[in-house]
Amino acid sequence: MQEKNRHIESSLVSGEINEVLGAAPAWIIRWGSLLLLGIILLLCALSFLIRYPDIIKGEACMTPVMPPADVVLQPGMAIEAIYVQDGDSVQERQPLLQVRGRGMRDTITSPAAGRVLLQQAIRRNSAFTRATLLVSIIPFGQQYYTTATMPAAGSGNIRIGQRVNISLYRYPRAEYGSISGRVVSKPLPAAGNTVKVVIQPDKGSVTNYNRELEIYQGEKGQAEIITSDKRLVQRIFSFLADF
């Protein structure tokens, strides 16, 4: 009888211990619920902040409206003095070089106001036996005629005023950034099942990294026209609405 009572008491104690061990403490449930709620709220906030735009990609071409003003040294001339360096800003008629040849000396001045681009390394007493392009002057306030050739498929979504990002092939996007602009023309049919649109850059050749790209002739790159700048939460609701 005593053994039976001890067995019953042992069973009751074991049951109480198992019940205590099997029940999660209230603070764990409370903090776990708060953590789950915080994660849900964070995901909701991110879905409002993260943008997921519709983009049409094509090829862009940027061409300077005002071509560079070139300085060409004639055959038989030699350089006596150099007054400028690459990248200098100069005004029209500002002296660039002092040259000599056929018993004469002359001062070559800048044909326009702009930025100096040395086309090759030049040194004093360098002589030239043929006509040689030495210096180009990139005009201040340069503007660019910019077009984008886009696939015809989906081009009906292209509208005047839409934002465009252009990354030139010669300047890696990760290092130089991209040029922003706006669509300023309706898409017109072009060759090979494509359409062409005209783009107006916002800041010339200055990128979103605040770097000015040197564009002296037609430069090609990738154009991304943002046809619909949606947020991630809008994408999610649109996806759910399709079911």
For Cα atoms 158, 161, 167, give the angle at the middle one, nearest 5 degrees: 75
Q: Which CATH number goes with the domain that contains 193?
A: 2.40.30.170
Domain count, the chain: 3
Residue 222 sits in the same domain as residue 162: yes
**What's the confidence (pLDDT) of residue 100?**
92
Residue 95 sits in the same domain as residue 146: no
Q: Which CATH number goes with the domain that contains 117?
A: 2.40.50.100
Residue 226 sits in the same domain as residue 160: yes
Rounded to two decimals, the pTM is 0.65
pLDDT category at 12 given cuts 50, 70, 90 is very low
- Buried/exposed 119-149: b ≥16 CB within 10 Å, e otherwise: beebeeebebeeebebbbbbbeebebebbbb
Residue 80 sits in the same domain as residue 176: no
Give the chain's mean pLDDT. Answer: 84
Coil, strand, or helix at residue 129? coil
**Domain C-terminal end among 112, 139, 166:** 139
In the chain, alpha helices (H): 2-22, 26-49, 173-176, 232-241
| pLDDT tens readout for residues 153-211 | 988 899 999 999 999 999 999 999 999 999 999 999 998 899 999 999 999 999 999 99
Residue 110 sits in the same domain as residue 125: yes
Given the structure tokens 């069973």, which residue do they identify? 11
pLDDT at 25 over 80: no
Residue 60 sits in the same domain as residue 176: yes
Span 2-18, mean pLDDT?
A: 51
Contact 64, 217 (CB under 8 A): yes
Q: Range of 174's domain? A: 52-65+142-242
